[in-house]
A and B are shown apart, each in its own frame.
Chain A
């Protein structure tokens, strides 16, 4: 318990520091005093006299929503990663690795390039297409990987890899068949995963869905704990196993879909964060899920800080940074003797 407190305290301490660093550092250099003046002006502490409007736009309209989006996306992906790992009882599960993200990307690409009709507002249709694509992919992977009530790790990873390829092929087909090169370039940048589209108007949908999905999973904390013991034991504890698993799959597809529709497919947050935290605070999900949110939020915030700061004046897709960090981690995890879950 002390360890949990320590971890929670550390994360809560790092959060404001990281946020402050993220709004102060970016692709252009700003004086920290100017950054403070922007917030003072928006809080009504100061009338904003002498503050260049470009700096106000950079800090308030670009960096601040971007930092918040990084927190939401990173936190959401980590929570979903934790829940999926419980679902398949394996620490290698993650939306990106299991093909969920690429399914969502394929849905978005098909819609964006005009292969699916626009039904509602663009942001909603994007999310819907991503949700349906992701749901189809993860359901198929899960069904293939399940043998007589247990999920085979080999089958799971292989099915995920193959599903990612299939969804990647659908995306590639859509991009090849698209007649509009401008849309194509934008889409390809988006597919690599980037938070550069962050704006205040973009935030509410992913924030609301992540919050709702996270709370729903938190309510499932006990069934998730029980799943780790094995399905038979969970049954004997009176847990509605099938319902729980279906709920987790739908929630994972929903949250991942909306996040992919917002920021593209960003991998490995959902892999690294729950894994590290589980080794620190143990497996109970009522602790693991909230801490995963905090940890994922921080990790993506740092990754995006790297993506913004590494090339002056330019954008680097944050998905590239996460893959550079995440793949070695995944490989190390594969090499290690499998640890015990419950």
Chain B
């Protein structure tokens, strides 16, 4: 039972469910010394960091976005983006293959409390490797995390520019959607059979709002609720967006939940499924996820400057 519980938690966290936000970390000095991570742990760092590993795919994406991809000495088996990770040796991050990681001799391990066990840090400490833990609740947490990664890995300027540009792109979308005459009521789902969703405090509601929608699960107390069919029928979403992958057949959702035939989104055929990596990973591609949301929420009302969907490698 304990194993199962741990699995439930781990699988939810792998999906990138975010808890309530916490205060962003203190600005990290460019090199050396001791810093405080998102869990309030004191982390002593070497002056120059050239060898890094991350324990979660979103952190790998953040390292590349911060312009420090060349410092990664390996990728976890869950990493699949950006394409440059294909060249790296692979290791298991869940559970951590400590022996192999030790042979890689990283100077710093980046981890996130949403996927990794904070106790892993103790084992790394015993190996003489410092671990920096991130916590990503809100979109701002993610952008602050990007800046922190840059500060830790000596690419602070590049990371700041990337973070500012991501913020500007999101703000531009939000400014456009603020002027929309109507905002569809959106139900965002992580699972199609068992209705895992995002509750209060998640970044997903920020993305949906910027994309011109109103997220129906924003007010649920639980960070990672499992919704009842009754809730969906009562909430009556105009649009249902799932993170089930772009190849998903919307008819499957109705087949799994036949009682939803009266839900407005189903009646109007407004069920969409998007690439989960853009929306479930609190990383630099969340902004792209917001644009993907906007394209399905407002297929006819898109502004001319909206970029076309990027093709995935």
Contact across chains for B11 and A57 when beta carbons are under 8 A apart = no
Alpha-carbon distance A186/B222, docked complex (angstroms): 18
Chain B residues within 8 Å of A199, by CB: 258-259
Contact across chains for A58 and B233 when beta carbons are under 8 A apart = yes
Chain B residues within 8 Å of A231, by CB: none
Alpha-carbon distance A58/B195, docked complex (angstroms): 16
Interface mask (A54-75 → B, CB under 8 Å = 1, otherwise 0): 1011100111000000000000
Alpha-carbon distance A128/B144, docked complex (angstroms): 52
Given A191-B4, A311-B222, answer yes or no on A182-B228 (Cβ-Cβ < 8 Å): no
Please name the residue on chain B nearest to A65 by beta carbon. Answer: B259
**Is B35 engaged at the interface, CB distance under 8 Å to the other chain?**
no
Alpha-carbon distance A313/B207, docked complex (angstroms): 22
Alpha-carbon distance A315/B230, docked complex (angstroms): 10
Which of A27, A57, A184, A189 gathers the greatest number of chain B CB atoms within 10 Å? A57
Interface size on A, residues (CB 8 A): 34
23 contacts between A and B (CB under 8 A): A26-B230, A27-B230, A28-B233, A54-B234, A57-B233, A58-B229, A61-B258, A62-B229, A62-B233, A63-B230, A168-B4, A172-B3, A181-B11, A182-B192, A184-B11, A185-B190, A186-B191, A186-B193, A188-B4, A199-B259, A313-B231, A314-B227, A315-B195
Given A54-B234, A189-B194, answer yes or no on A314-B7 (Cβ-Cβ < 8 Å): no
Within the complex, the shortest CB–CB distance from B179 to chain A, in Å, comes to 31
Within the complex, the shortest CB–CB distance from B20 to chain A, in Å, comes to 17
Chain A residues numbered 1-38 whose CB sits less than 8 Å from any CB in chain B: 26-28
Within the complex, the shortest CB–CB distance from A99 to chain B, in Å, comes to 13
**Is A210 engaged at the interface, CB distance under 8 Å to the other chain?**
no
Contact across chains for B1 and A181 when beta carbons are under 8 A apart = no
**Is A220 engaged at the interface, CB distance under 8 Å to the other chain?**
no
Contact across chains for B231 and A28 when beta carbons are under 8 A apart = yes
Chain A residues numbered 188-241 whose CB sits less than 8 Å from any CB in chain B: 188-192, 196, 199
**Is A308 engaged at the interface, CB distance under 8 Å to the other chain?**
yes
Contact across chains for B234 and A28 when beta carbons are under 8 A apart = yes
Contact across chains for A54 and B194 when beta carbons are under 8 A apart = no
Contact of B225 among A58, A186, A192, A313 (CB under 8 A): A313
Contact across chains for A314 and B258 when beta carbons are under 8 A apart = no
**Is B226 engaged at the interface, CB distance under 8 Å to the other chain?**
yes
Contact across chains for B220 and A185 when beta carbons are under 8 A apart = no
**Is B66 engaged at the interface, CB distance under 8 Å to the other chain?**
no
* Secondary structure call for the A interface: helix
Contact across chains for B220 and A313 when beta carbons are under 8 A apart = yes
Chain A residues within 8 Å of B230, by CB: 26-28, 58, 62-63, 313
What is the size category of the interface that chain B forms with chain A? Answer: 35 or more
Alpha-carbon distance A336/B254, docked complex (angstroms): 51
Contact across chains for B3 and A168 when beta carbons are under 8 A apart = yes
**Is A53 engaged at the interface, CB distance under 8 Å to the other chain?**
yes
**Is A175 engaged at the interface, CB distance under 8 Å to the other chain?**
yes
**Is B196 engaged at the interface, CB distance under 8 Å to the other chain?**
yes
Tell me how many residue pairs across A and B have CB atoms closer than 8 Å.
Answer: 102
Chain B residues within 8 Å of A171, by CB: 4
Given A54-B233, A199-B258, answer yes or no on A168-B225 (Cβ-Cβ < 8 Å): no
Chain B residues within 8 Å of A314, by CB: 220, 222, 225-228, 231
**Is B81 engaged at the interface, CB distance under 8 Å to the other chain?**
no
Contact of A54 among B7, B191, B227, B262 (CB under 8 A): B262
Task: Given contacts A172-B4, A188-B8, list 19 more A-B pairs with CB under 8 A.
Answer: A26-B230, A27-B231, A28-B231, A58-B259, A168-B1, A168-B4, A182-B193, A185-B194, A186-B191, A188-B4, A188-B7, A191-B4, A308-B228, A311-B222, A313-B225, A313-B235, A314-B220, A315-B226, A315-B227
Chain B residues within 8 Å of A315, by CB: 194-195, 226-228
Q: Which residues of A contact B (CB under 8 A)?
A: 26-28, 53-54, 56-58, 61-63, 168, 171-172, 175-176, 181-182, 184-186, 188-192, 196, 199, 308, 311, 313-316
Alpha-carbon distance A192/B15, docked complex (angstroms): 20
Contact across chains for A188 and B226 when beta carbons are under 8 A apart = no
Alpha-carbon distance A176/B235, docked complex (angstroms): 35
Please name the residue on chain A nearest to B195 by beta carbon. Answer: A315
Within the complex, the shortest CB–CB distance from B104 to chain A, in Å, comes to 24
Please name the residue on chain B nearest to A311 by beta carbon. Answer: B222
Chain A residues within 8 Å of B231, by CB: 27-28, 313-314
Chain A residues within 8 Å of B262, by CB: 53-54, 56-57
Contact of A26 among B3, B222, B228 (CB under 8 A): B228
Kindly list the 8 A-B residue pairs having the minimum CB-CB distance in the complex, ordered from nearest. Answer: A53-B262, A313-B231, A27-B228, A57-B259, A61-B259, A54-B233, A28-B234, A189-B194
Chain B residues within 8 Å of A316, by CB: 226
Interface mask (B117-136 → A, CB under 8 Å = 1, otherwise 0): 00000000000000000000
Which of B3, B191, B194 gathers the greatest number of chain A CB atoms within 10 Å? B194
Within the complex, the shortest CB–CB distance from A118 to chain B, in Å, comes to 17
Chain B residues numbered 209-262 whose CB sits less than 8 Å from any CB in chain A: 220, 222, 225-231, 233-236, 244, 258-262
Please name the residue on chain B nearest to A59 by beta carbon. Answer: B230
